[in-house]
Amino acid sequence: MRRSVFLVVLVALPAFCGAARAGTYRAFGAPQAVTIEGYSGSAMEPFITRDGDYLLFNTSNVAPNIPSLQFATRVNADTFEYQGPILGEGVNVAETVSGTPTLDQEGELYFVSNRSYAQTLSTIYSGQFSAGLVTGVHLVSGVSAETPGVVDFDVEAGADGEALYVSVGHFESDGVGPTSAGLELFEKVGDSFVVAPGSAKLLRKVDRAGQLDYAASISANELELFFTRASPALGQGPEIYRATRSSAGRPFGHVQRVAAITGFAEAPSISADGTTLYYHELVGDTYDLESVSRP
């Protein structure tokens, strides 16, 4: 089934043990466990809404599990109360993946699903989110891989909803992969999205040959980009990185690994005020949510 294309994205990367490297960002403190009261399963792909009220996430992608979108309400920065699956027609469709949730400040939810990939080569869907209910779910126009085996497997929306940071991966014919992955920037034009004319230039320091770069999180002012990087050829498993720029519209540079985060860590999500970074970590055979904070 085509669902394997998405499911192996995160679990096919071995837990490599790479040596310590230069270029680290040290402003974040020690990791803290994130508690979702009333929820006991794996939690992956966290997203903190722009108002800070909700934690969105998806369930485990380890087969035979099929990821589905969930939500919890905030108690404090590291504690949330589980509310259940995100509801709405077209959100969690049986036997198909729904994952990597992201939300702009106007409440437009974007997520990834493989439900129509065989017909459309597209995987990015959106709908209007309100208190755990999503309406008007539809395939996002203009975001398509165009080539079989190329899959848009993760998405992050800019706060103003005018940009999408899409993770694009190349997969083998049997769904194994990605063998390569990088970020691509799309900008909104009318009711559709198009590849930003300067996408490659803006992200040239982030997307590096021979590495897997994916799962972006953009700050509210669009000057700070967090993402996941893995370098299987160098024996380095998934880690969280940070890139910055001096003003919107300029290329990202000054790429550094977030020093406080260790182990098999992926899928960062920065809070709207920029003080707390959430992510998931593989602990044994379970994915747990953690956070690191800075002044």
Residue 197 inside a domain? The answer is yes
C-alpha 188/C-alpha 159 separation (Å) is 13
C-alpha 58/C-alpha 183 separation (Å) is 21
Q: What is the pLDDT of residue 218?
A: 98
Residue 223 inside a domain? The answer is no
**Domain tally for the chain?**
1
Q: Which of 3-12, 48-57, 169-178 has the lowest mean pLDDT?
A: 3-12
Q: Per-residue pLDDT tens for 95-116?
A: 999 999 999 999 999 999 999 9
Q: How confident is the model at residue 64 (pLDDT cuts 50, 70, 90)?
A: confident
Q: What backbone torsions phi and psi does residue 7 show, to the nearest 5 degrees? A: -65, -30
Q: What is the pLDDT of residue 12?
A: 38
Residue 257 inside a domain? The answer is no
Q: What is the pLDDT of residue 200?
A: 96
Answer positive or negative: Cα dihedral of 206, 207, 211, 217.
positive
Q: What is the pLDDT of residue 49?
A: 96
Task: Assess whether pLDDT exceeds 50 at residue 9.
Answer: no
Q: What is the pLDDT of residue 116?
A: 96
Residue 157 inside a domain? The answer is yes
Q: How confident is the model at residue 89 (pLDDT cuts 50, 70, 90)?
A: very high
Task: Assess whether pLDDT exceeds 80 at residue 122.
Answer: yes
Domain hosting 47: range is 3-18+34-204+278-293
- pTM metric for this prediction: 0.91
In the structure encoding, which two tokens stand for residue 245, read together? 């720029």
Q: How high is the mean pLDDT of the chain?
A: 91
Q: What is the pLDDT of residue 134?
A: 98
For range 201-211, the mean pLDDT: 93
C-alpha 238/C-alpha 231 separation (Å) is 8
C-alpha 228/C-alpha 214 separation (Å) is 5
Q: How confident is the model at residue 231 (pLDDT cuts 50, 70, 90)?
A: confident
Residue 118 inside a domain? The answer is yes
User: CB-based contacts of 254: which residues, under 8 Å, 6+ apart?
Assistant: 205, 243, 244
Task: Assess whether pLDDT exceeds 90 at residue 10.
Answer: no
Indicate the length of the chain as a whole number.
295
Q: What is the pLDDT of residue 235?
A: 81
Q: What is the pLDDT of residue 2?
A: 26
Q: What is the pLDDT of residue 8?
A: 42
In the structure encoding, which two tokens stand for residue 29, read together? 């403190």
For range 208-232, the mean pLDDT: 95
**Of the candidates 183, 185, 194, which has an alpha carbon nearest to the alpha carbon of residue 158?**
185
Q: What is the pLDDT of residue 232?
A: 81
Residue 219 inside a domain? The answer is no
Residue 25 inside a domain? The answer is no
Q: What is the pLDDT of residue 174?
A: 72
| pLDDT > 90 in the chain, percent | 82
Q: What is the pLDDT of residue 233?
A: 77
Provide the CB-side half-sphere exposure for 68 (13 A, CA): 17
C-alpha 81/C-alpha 30 separation (Å) is 23
Task: Assess whether pLDDT exceeds 90 at residue 20.
Answer: no
HEC profile of 20-48: CCCCEECCCCCCEECEEECCCCCCEEEEE
Task: Assess whether pLDDT exceeds 70 at residue 14.
Answer: no
DSSP secondary structure code for residue 114 in this structure: -
Residue 273 inside a domain? The answer is no
C-alpha 97/C-alpha 3 separation (Å) is 7
For range 214-231, the mean pLDDT: 96
Q: What is the pLDDT of residue 32?
A: 97
DSSP secondary structure code for residue 87 in this structure: B
Q: How confident is the model at residue 270 (pLDDT cuts 50, 70, 90)?
A: very high
- DSSP assignment of 204-227 equals TTTS-TTSEEEEEEE-TTSSEEEE
